[in-house]
A and B are shown apart, each in its own frame.
Chain A
Amino acid sequence: MKNLVRCGFLLLMLLAIHARVTWYRLGQASPPPLTTVAERLTALGVRNDGPDQNGLIEATAPGCAIRFPVGMFALDGGEDMRMAEFVPPDSVPLYIYLGKVRTARRELHPASAWFNANLAAMAGARATLPPTKLVLAALPGQCQQLAALNWASVSQ
């Protein structure tokens, strides 16, 4: 019985190492989040030149002459003040995280989605680790039709 307990601990040690190697590989396989967002915007038909030096994407969409900003901000609330400054007057903010789209930050509740996505990655049901930042798109108020795009696909 003693040896069985010892074997159990050795097995747990091997499992711990295996899980961390898998985790490391998942982390390495996850592309830079903002670059991925830029690519997904392009797939939506939203033109952009990719992220600039300040981590900001300037975008334009068909049927709307006004350029609008898209950026990524920490889930933890540390960048909320900067996020408030990010949205120009007369714009409609869209907060996007893992397929969920909301117009108010407080309605997003990203923590549970982040945790579930981590579990899914660990179980092999997800190929990459979830981003630790949400996407904020500040749509021009004059281009209401842009809200109809599939923004949920920008953060998956």
Chain B
Amino acid sequence: MKLNLKAFVSRTGGLDSAQLCGWSVALAALAYWADVIAGSHAAQPLAPAALSASIFGAGAFNAAAWVMVMTRLLAPAPARPAPATLAVPLLGSALICVLPIGIALAPGLLLLGLALLLHTDLPASRREAGLLLLGLGVGWGWPFLRVAHAAIGHLDAQAVGFIVRLSGLDVLVQGNIVAHGPFSIEILPACASSSPLAEVALAYVVVALYCRHRLSKADLPWLLASLLFSIVLTEIRLSLMVPSWADWNWWHNGPGVTVYELIALSGAGLFPWLAARPQPVPKALPA
């Protein structure tokens, strides 16, 4: 069956691009936060304490990204009829976002983000919203790639073994387990160095856009540096857990978590800030 694009456009009732984007993003936001709240498994998920715990638990950069998406959608935009190339993916993402299976939200947000980002007719504000939604989609789907994180966990164990041996400790590495004498740690998918990378990438986009920086290919080295910083930090933290149960407990459950999170947060904010710095204008040489 041939798709008649003109007929489809006329059937959307002349709903303009900005309105369609607004409705689609509102639905995605509703599904996102409803998933976050339902995923808290609190006995009373709508009680104020549980609600605030859910929102803060979702991560500061996720909340900031949604606020930035909304502010960009409220920016004025010319009223143009939504073409089928925009309307179809937006409606598709809306249907996907209805599904309550957690993982479904990831393709829904990715489709929505890509539709806004790649549609060159949309104003810059909508395309920036698309980039943020893309980051949110990747961030949402990232933990579901557990098989990949489990495989990375094996590589992490090798890296940790190498680092710890440099400090003179004798360790045995087997799969994702690093053993030091009778004590051993197991690097599970959530502990793998790949696990925080989606959040780091989202943090990069959020901070860069907050600094009113227009993202371009020149950001790629900064983004890669930010990801590398996160990987190295995770390997160091895992290595510090290996010597004994007390060390593991300090870095896994104790004050070490705060130390790690503060350093990770600094790194995630520093690289995009450095990329967004205004470049000094070179002084003109005298003729």
Interface of A toward B, CB cutoff 8 Å: 1-6, 9, 12-13, 15-17, 19-24, 27-28, 74, 76-82, 118-119, 122
In the assembled complex, B186 has its CB within 8 A of some CB on chain A: yes
Q: How many Å from the CB of B271 to the closest CB on chain A? A: 29
**A2 x B153 contact (CB < 8 A):** no
Partner of B15, one of A5, A22, A82: A5
In the assembled complex, B176 has its CB within 8 A of some CB on chain A: yes
**B101 x A6 contact (CB < 8 A):** no
Q: Which residues of B contact A78 (CB under 8 A)?
A: 146, 149-150, 153, 176, 188-189
**B99 x A19 contact (CB < 8 A):** yes
Q: Which residues of B contact A17 (CB under 8 A)?
A: 30, 34
**A6 x B174 contact (CB < 8 A):** no
Partner of A23, one of B38, B97, B153: B38
Q: Which residues of A contact B23 (CB under 8 A)?
A: 5-6, 9
Q: Which residues of B contact A28 (CB under 8 A)?
A: 41
**B13 x A76 contact (CB < 8 A):** no
Partner of B13, one of A2, A74, A80, A119: A2
**A13 x B26 contact (CB < 8 A):** yes
**A81 x B13 contact (CB < 8 A):** no
Partner of A5, one of B12, B176, B188: B12
- Chief secondary structure at chain B's binding surface: helix
In the assembled complex, B14 has its CB within 8 A of some CB on chain A: yes
What count of chain B residues pass the 8 Å CB interface test?
Answer: 37
**A27 x B41 contact (CB < 8 A):** yes
Residue of A nearest to B28 (CB): A16
Cα(A81)–Cα(B179), bound, Å: 13
Cα(A2)–Cα(B13), bound, Å: 5
* Chain B 195-229 interface mask (CB, 8 Å, partner A; 1/0): 00000000000000000000000000000000000
Partner of B150, one of A6, A27, A77: A77
Cα(A28)–Cα(B44), bound, Å: 11
Q: How many Å from the CB of B263 to the closest CB on chain A? A: 25
Cα(A153)–Cα(B43), bound, Å: 30
Residue of B nearest to A85 (CB): B177
Cα(A6)–Cα(B99), bound, Å: 19
**B94 x A9 contact (CB < 8 A):** yes
Q: Which residues of A contact B94 (CB under 8 A)?
A: 9, 12
Q: Which residues of B contact A3 (CB under 8 A)?
A: 13
In the assembled complex, B11 has its CB within 8 A of some CB on chain A: yes
Residue of A nearest to B41 (CB): A27
Q: Which residues of A contact B11 (CB under 8 A)?
A: 1
Cα(A118)–Cα(B176), bound, Å: 29
